[in-house]
Structures are given as C-alpha cells and as structure tokens.
Structure 1
Amino acid sequence: MSAQQIGINLDPALEAAAAPRLNALVSDGVAGRLAAQDSTLWGPAAEAEASTRLSWTTLHRTSRPLIGEIEALRNELRSEGVDRVVLAGMGGSSLAPEVITATEGVALTVLDTTDPAQVADALAGDLDRTVLVVSSKSGTTVETDSHRRVFVAAFEEEGIDPARRIVVVTDPGSPLAELEQCRKVFLADPHVGGRYSALTAFGLVPAGLAGADVARLLDQATLVADAVAADTRDNPALRLGAAFGAAHDDGAEKLVLADTGSGITGFGDWAEQLIAESTGKQGTGLLPVVVDAPDAPGFGDAGKDATPVAIGPSTGGSRIAAEGPLGAQFLVWESAVAVAGRLLGIDPFDQPDVEAAKKAARSLLDDPDTLGATSAPAAVVGAVEVHASTGTSAEGSLADILREFTDTVPDGGYLAVQAYLDRLDDASAALLRPELAKRTGMQTTFGWGPRFLHSTGQYHKGGHQNGVFLQITGASEEDLQVPDRPYTLGTLQLAQALGDAQVLADHGRPVLRLHLTDRAAGLAEVVRAVQELDR
C-alpha cells in the first residue's frame, strides 16, 4: 500500500466503466472543490443544505483540540473509579464510536435501542463505575432522551449524583447543550451531518472515554487527506465514487459489503448508514447489504443488480476492494459517497424521508387505543402472531405465509428483515438474513429496530421502490417505564415498528409483521419456517 495509506482496487470491467466518470470528476476539479467546501457541487437544489454540511472535510485538523479534553476527562473519571462507558445515541451518534472501539478492542456499551431487556442489561452493569454519554445532534432524539431519563432515575436510586455521571455530546443551541444535570458538554461542529460525524465529538468523545486512541484515528485521516483533495485519477475517493456511480448506472443498485481481513470490526454497519441515507432518495440510490463474510449468500453469487465490495484485500468474488486503516477509510468513504451523490444527481446531505416514520410513531404514542387496535393479529401460528400485508394472506403454515410473502419481491428487488428485538439476547434473529438470502436467491438486508430507522430507513422510503419488508417484533417479559413520560420502552418500540410499517405501506411497499409472543420459541419457529422455503 502507498504512503497515502489507502488502496482502492477495481476489477477490470468496472475500472473501464468507471473511467469516463473518473475523467469527468478530475476535469471538473471535484476533489479540490469538495476540499474547499464548494456547496455548488450538487446543483442549485442542494446548495442551501450543502452549504452547512461540509465541515467534515477538515475534521482531521479541526478535531485536534478534542484529544486533550477527552484525555483529561477520562483521567478524571478513572481517578474516581469510573471506567465503564455507556453510550446513548442513535445513527451517526453511535455507529462510529461502536466501530472505533470494537476495532481497538476497548469496551463500550452502546444503547441504540428501545428494547426494554437490552436497556435493562445496561442498567444491570456496575453503576458505581458507569458514566453515561448522551449523544444527540438535535438534543431531542426520543430514544436517547428515554435512555437519559431511565439512567438518571437509576443513578438516583443508587445514591449517585447524575450530574457527575452524565457527559453530553450535542450541537450548539440544542436543548441538551443547556442541560444542567451533567458533568460536561462537548459541542460538536454544527456544519457536519450525523452520518459524516465520525471524526467529530460524536465519534471521538465516547470512543476516547472508553480508551480508544483517537489521536491515531485523526493521524490516519491526515495521511490520506492530501490524496483525497487531489484532482488526479489515482485519488482513492474519486475512484471509489466513480465506481459506485458506474455500477449503479449499469443496474447494480446494491452494494454488498463483506470484511475480507481489514482488521476493522463492524465497518459495514457504519458504511451502511453513510451510503443508504446519503444516496437513497428521489427514487434512486445505492442500497448497502452488509454480510458476515465473503462466502455469505449474496456476495460471491451476487447478480447483476449488486456489486460485491470487499472491506480489505480483494477476493475472487469482489468487484471493489478498499484497504486502509479506519481513520483513512472514514474520510475516503465519506468523500466517495459525496461524489457518488453528484453522479446520481441527488443531495447527499439531506434525509427527506426519515421524519415520516418518527411522526407516525409519535402519532401512535399519542393514541394508545389506536396502537392496541393496530396490533390485532390476522392469524396465530404457535408462538408467532401474523400481521399480513396487502397481497399476502395469513393462511397455511408459517412457511406457506413466508413463501407467499417473499414471492412478492419484484425482479431486481430486495428483502429487508427488520428485528425490533434485543440484539444481545435475541442475536439469533440475525440468522434470518443468510437463511433467507440462500433460500430465495434475493439480496437480503438485516437491521435491528429502531437502529436501522436512523440508517437504511431513508433508503426504504426514498430509494428504489422495490423492497419488501419482514418485521419481527416480540413481547417483553418485563417492561421499563420512561420517567416523566406517558409510555414504556416496550410501547415506544412497538409504536416505532408500527409507525414505520404504516409509512412503508403508504409508499405501496409490502410489510409482513411476525410478533413473537415467546421470543425464544417464536424465533426458533420462524427460523424453521425459513429453512422450509426451498423444499
């Protein structure tokens, strides 16, 4: 690998297809203009939004003062015996810290869920050693606000002053910026969108407090910054962005991401939000499909509608491979996706369809009677309640119902599995992605709800309208009341699932919800039914 600390390898056919786009990007001076924060790159309609969203291009320099602040606070906390970090944040506020800490092998408990059991697990840790990082750009994110309220009550019950155990990361002017019951407020650069915020306080503060070397991360980005800003054909970001654009224009509207030995843990989950939320709008976009390994279904056997992308060295099945350390990858992929937005003709910095599901969930929370009526099942099969979508009956076995439902996926479409469950205790739900992909031959995504609503949720409503959605919800043995709010976490979780389903249905997309009255038994029944699909 060169001194630029990044390598983008393309197969010969894609390299040739991308060449005209790469040449145009170079001749138009796109890299230099992006580094100079030129908001006109995406056309007049996007200029206003882009003018306040481009500071991420200089974060490798401007985030340097955070290093000392984070280290000083970490040392203070540890001198008081506080060394367990819990992060309450959604989307861009949680995905980057998670991949940073997982890659460095330091512990960080991430709360990007409304599942009562998963939140209870976090509460069950040693609160005497715990600091809660409350991270939200707007300061009003309902999940994060709920987590804060729950932890404040738990700290107080244990005789711990919450003001000594809460650290805030937010934008200037947000309600959280004025929060008195906290130890320190880190104000992030407001001219950076959430999914581009890996190298801001949103990515660095929780990771650094947990023990990650954030200075090294910024150094890695710095080493590639000049190459990313250069208007040359070997610019890694231009090469990657041109490849994305060429693949999409050839009908490959999906990117299948697999780690091939990069040394980075969980990069696909971070890239998923960046790609889907940036490009999935106006009926177009690139759908990221994150798989476990290059031998997983949907990667090496990807059809014409998908491009296999290796995170790490090239494999026999990959058409694109991206190698390099995490900090460099952050900057290259952010730049490449911004470039791809230009090629696709969209604004890569807005998210016009994300708010719809939030509004629908709030409406259901405001009317609990409606929430209860909406949840009546069409059929019950063992420990699974079936809530069928338009075009799918609730007749026959669970395998029959799933077979009928998956048959509604159009040619070149995709199946999305959305699990509103505990991603720790109900981890076996993730088996549904490879099982469904193998047995149906379709590109299949998997997301934990409501986490994915802050990620691929934008693409589902704004991108190519060829998705079919399988929701998995589950009964909670024990619920948690959100202090000073008229709902529990379990109620919020169900409202988020039903609200998103309502918006998808309004877009004409099929949604099948399987509700597990007993999570373990129900999941086992669903997995067995999926395994019967190819019989």
Structure 2
Amino acid sequence: MAPDGTTVTIVDDGLAAKAAPLVDKLVADQVASKLAAQDPTLWGPDAESEASIRLSWTTLHKSSRPLIGEIEALREELRGEGIDRVVLAGMGGSSLAPEVITSTEGTPLTVLDTTDPGQVADALAGDLQRTVIVVSSKSGGTVETDSHRRIFAKAFTEAGIDAASRIVVVTDPGSPLAELAENEGYRKVFLADPHVGGRYSALTAFGLVPAGLAGADVARLLDQAAAAAQVLGEDSADNPALRLGAAWAAAHADGAEKVVLADTGSGITGFPDWAEQLIAESTGKRGTGLLPVAVEGPTAPGFADAGADATPVAVGPQVGAAKITTEGPLGAQFLLWEFATAIAGRLLEINPFDQPDVEAAKAAARSLLDNPAALEGGEQPSTVDDTVEVFAPEGMSTDGELADVLRSFLATAPEGGYLAVQAYLDRLDDASASILRAELAKRTGLQTTFGWGPRFLHSTGQYHKGGHQNGIFLQITGAVEQDLDVPDRPYTLGKLQHAQALGDGQVLREHGRPVLRLHLTDRAAGLAQLVRAVQEVSER
C-alpha cells in the first residue's frame, strides 16, 4: 500500500494463486525498480529503441512541477481579461486525462475530440468573448485538432477577437504545431516532454495545462502521484503495480483476454475511459493483448455476468463480481495503471510503447478525402429500413427488418469474441446511442465495447487491428444537417468524419473482420428505431 492508501486487491483466490508466481518472478527480476529507473531493456531487444525514448512518465511527479506556476500565471492573466471558458481541442491521450481530471473536480472544460459538425458547432456557440482554446497535439499534425484550430481561429477573427491571443498550444518540441504557434504568435506554447507517449501523458503538459487552466488543482495530482511512486518502484510482492500487471497477465494466459472496467464508488469520474486507451493501445498488437471494456457500473451486463473470457476490475471498493479492485486518489491511479500496463506488456512479450496499426485507418481516411468520388458515391446500401440504411458485410443476409439484419450480423461473432459499437455521431446531442452497449451485451452474451468515433481510433482502434482477431464491428453513422467548412482545407468536418468511418471499416475488412454500417438518415428517429430493433434481438 502506498502512503496515500493506493491498493490493488486480487479478490478471486484462483486468480491470486495464478498471479503469485508471476509477481515473484517480477520481484526477482527487479522489474519495478528498473522501470522506475527507466531501463529500456525490460521488453526485449526489439522494443529497446522505442522504450529508450518513452519512459520519462515514471518521474513526471517531479519533472512536471515547474508547470504548476506557469499554468497558474496564465490562468490569472486570462481571468484578468475576462477569459474563463476553456475549450480543449485534442484527441486520445491529449483529451482523455484532462477530461477525467476536470470531471472529477467539477471544473468546466469543453472537450472537442470529434469531427462531428454538430458537436463542434455547439462549442462554437459558447461565449467566444470569454473563450480560450487549448490546441493539444503531440505530433503537431493531428487532423481533427488542426481542423478545430482553423475553425476557432476563423470564428475568433469574425467576432473581432485577435485569434492568436486566444490560442494556447501544447505540443512536442520541434513539431509543426510548435513552429506554427511561433510564427502566428499564439498566446502561449507549452512544450511537453517528448520522451512520453501520448497515452502515458496524463501528468505532462497534455494533462495538466487544460485541466489547470480550467481550475483543477494539478499540484495535488502530482503530490498524489509522488506518494504512490514511493512503492511503485519497489521490488516487493506488495507493490500494487506488480500485482495488477501480473493479475492481468495471469488471466490472459487462462483465456481471459478482456478486462471489464467499472467504477464502484472511487470518487473519480470517467476513469475507465482513460484506462481504456492506455490498456488497448499499449497491449493490443501482434495478435494478442488485453481488450478493455468500460461499462456503466458493477451491475452492468459484461461485468456482473462476465464469462471465462473476461476479468471484472473494480475502480473503487470491491463490489459484486469484481475479481480485482484498485483504490486510491486520481494522481496515484494514473501512475499505478501506467506502471501496471507497462509490466503487463513485459509479461505478454509485447512492446507497450508503439502503436503499429493506428496509422492504417488514418491513411485510408486520407485516401478517401483525396478521392471525393469514392467518398460520396461509391458505396450503395444493401437494404434500407425506414430511416436506417444498411451496409452489410459481403455474403451476409439482409432479408427482413432491421432486427433480422442485426441477428444475422451478430451470428458472425466467433466463440469468445467481442462486439465493438462505433458511433460516429455527436456524443452530446446523440448521447442516447450509448445505451446500445448494455442492450447488446445483455442480449448477445458478448463482451461489448462502445466508442465514439473518431475518438476511439486513437485508443481501442489499435487493439481492433492488432489485438486478438475475434471482434465484430457495428458502425453507426448519421446524416449531417449543417456541415462546417474547415478553413483552407478541401473538405468539411462532415466529409472528414465520413472518411474516417469508411476508412476504418475498410481496414477492418482487410483484417478479415465483419463490419456492419448503419447510416441514420434521420439521427433522432434512426437511433430510436435502432434501439427498438436491438431490443427485439433475442438473448442467446
């Protein structure tokens, strides 16, 4: 147990017995202390080059301290000018941690991790006179984030506001965004530690700057992480990170390659969504890995009735079916789960710091954007049922109503497989789509994930292509009523969103995975129709 009470408990006796020898081996190999010392040899010679430039996250509780004063000074400066509304444009690791931090503390932050025109328009409709936008991209070339920057810069200018004075940048040194920010004279540029990968960046400028500007106590987060770091680097069987990583690996070896995450009263808001990216993108490669399944709570389908292919993990006290529990404050949990994920990578014999399959979907989307004819008119629906156009996998029956189509599709799932629901919609106005996860899980018995597109492409998207190849994919796209131009780019947000959905579907099919796309010609009516159809699907 860390001084702040951070603990991992393996509740299931059988799992604890299987994890124990792995923990002993990790202790004997001094894995915890070597990881804390940033030893890049822990994951084998093939991973050493990448690991050597990806381990600075282990000491961020110390190295990020200078950011606290910089963030507070900028916040006070902005407040003095009447600027108190913070919008974050970022994807994946650049948005998930700040969203958890601010949601947990109850501080308002508008997060843009979407290409849906409606959701971006809603953010634009806020009071621009009071708004600063944080443009956050490690590479400096993230297409979604660049689109947000362009759209907001134009909106500021049209409102008579000096756009450069309202744009704050977080990026790696030497990135195209860093260069652009200098040339354009943006308000402030925070250069993050380049030796930290995006999904491990919660305690870097990527996590701390937007959260701190919004009013979160980021110094407290670093204090919490520092307290946990005292035990996470110890070669001891009581080290919670060794216990958590070993339990995941032991379960995986026993056929449970899915990790079902539920909050059980941790006091942290949205932690499973952050952990989902960390685990999926770090471990889902070379045909193996851990599929995180974020669920609604400990009584949710998939957690309460988890089968042999899944391990229920409670974020918070032990409740119900949980086989593992983790407790502790947010800053400590960030560091604990990062340590545990890196340790699990060693045990699974994969490199937890690369993401070899993420680029494929991006390349496919770019190709479609470069070929408007293919994007606009190439694909014809297999069938249409009222407000839902059906684009079915080749050879799948589309006879009957939408419920019949869903039954045919769900029958393509292999034993022990999973269903991924991917909603390329507005996660605020179309929020009701999220109920599909529990409904489908309950009726199919399949472990079922839910992701908002394109946000999930920066997290579970890696696992979908690189992890266990036993998933089936339900894509939901929707008609765009009012599109948004992306200034100085030959596409709109709606076209970009459409290209991302089709591009990812194309890559999944190339991996031999079934993809069913349902296009809602009327979003509200189509979602209601889809929910009714799902409810007609019989339980297995």
Measured against the shorter chain, the TM-score band is over 0.9
Rounded to whole Å, the distance in 1 between the matches of 2:82 and 2:95 is: 24
Counterpart position of 1:3? 3
Give 3-state SS (helix, strand or coil) of 1:490's partner.
helix
Aligned with residue 202 of structure 1, among 200, 203, 206: 206
**Superposed counterparts of 1:379-390, under 5 Å:** 379-390=383-394
Aligned with residue 528 of structure 1, among 517, 532, 537: 532
Rounded to whole Å, the distance in 1 between the matches of 2:98 and 2:120 is: 18
Counterpart position of 2:500? 496
**Superposed counterparts of 1:400-479, under 5 Å:** 400-479=404-483
Q: TM-score, with normalisation over the residues of structure 1?
A: 0.99
Counterpart position of 1:347? 351
Rounded to whole Å, the distance in 2 between the matches of 1:187 and 1:126 is: 28
* Structure 1, 121-130 or 383-392: larger mean CA deviation: 383-392
Q: Deviations along 1:310-337, whole A, 9 cap, x unmatched? A: 0000112100000000000000000000
Counterpart position of 2:490? 486
Give 3-state SS (helix, strand or coil) of 1:473's partner.
strand
Rounded to whole Å, the distance in 2 between the matches of 1:510 and 1:87 is: 34
Shift of 1:392: 1.8
Shift of 1:391: 3.7
Aligned with residue 188 of structure 1, among 192, 197, 201: 192
Shift of 1:39: 0.3
Counterpart position of 2:257? 253
Counterpart position of 2:83? 82
Give 3-state SS (helix, strand or coil) of 2:199's partner.
helix
Rounded to whole Å, the distance in 1 between the matches of 2:107 and 2:501 is: 32
**Superposed counterparts of 1:161-310, under 5 Å:** 161-178=162-179, 179=181, 180-181=183-184, 182-310=186-314
The answer (yes or no) to whether the contact 2:299–2:320 under 8 Å persists in 1 is: no
Counterpart position of 1:125? 126
Rounded to whole Å, the distance in 2 between the matches of 1:31 and 1:313 is: 25
The answer (yes or no) to whether the contact 2:2–2:227 under 8 Å persists in 1 is: no
Shift of 1:184: 0.4
Q: TM-score, with normalisation over the residues of structure 2?
A: 0.98
The amino acid across from 1:211 in the alignment is: G
Q: Deviations along 1:181-225, whole A, 9 cap, x unmatched? A: 310000000000000000000000000000000000000000010
The answer (yes or no) to whether the contact 1:86–1:133 under 8 Å persists in 2 is: yes
The answer (yes or no) to whether the contact 1:4–1:227 under 8 Å persists in 2 is: no
Counterpart position of 2:27? 26
Give 3-state SS (helix, strand or coil) of 1:285's partner.
coil
Q: Deviations along 1:147-193, whole A, 9 cap, x unmatched? A: 00000010000000011100000000001112233100000000000
Aligned with residue 518 of structure 1, among 518, 522, 526: 522
Shift of 1:373: 2.8
The amino acid across from 1:155 in the alignment is: F
Shift of 1:393: 2.3
Shift of 1:421: 0.0
Shift of 1:534: 1.2
The amino acid across from 1:330 in the alignment is: F
Shift of 1:15: 1.0
Give 3-state SS (helix, strand or coil) of 1:293's partner.
coil
The answer (yes or no) to whether the contact 1:217–1:327 under 8 Å persists in 2 is: yes
Rounded to whole Å, the distance in 1 between the matches of 2:519 and 2:279 is: 30
The answer (yes or no) to whether the contact 1:240–1:336 under 8 Å persists in 2 is: yes
The answer (yes or no) to whether the contact 1:391–1:510 under 8 Å persists in 2 is: no
* Structure 1, 149-158 or 392-401: larger mean CA deviation: 392-401
Rounded to whole Å, the distance in 2 between the matches of 1:316 and 1:97 is: 30
Q: List runs of 5+ in structure 2 lacking aligned partners.
A: none
Rounded to whole Å, the distance in 1 between the matches of 2:3 and 2:133 is: 39
Rounded to whole Å, the distance in 2 between the matches of 1:218 and 1:16 is: 34
Q: List runs of 5+ in structure 1 lacking aligned partners.
A: none
Shift of 1:4: 4.3
Number of aligned residue pairs: 535
The amino acid across from 2:117 in the alignment is: P
Rounded to whole Å, the distance in 1 between the matches of 2:399 and 2:491 is: 34
The amino acid across from 2:104 in the alignment is: T
RMSD after superposition: 0.8
Rounded to whole Å, the distance in 1 between the matches of 2:50 and 2:394 is: 37
Counterpart position of 1:71? 72
Rounded to whole Å, the distance in 2 between the matches of 1:400 and 1:80 is: 58
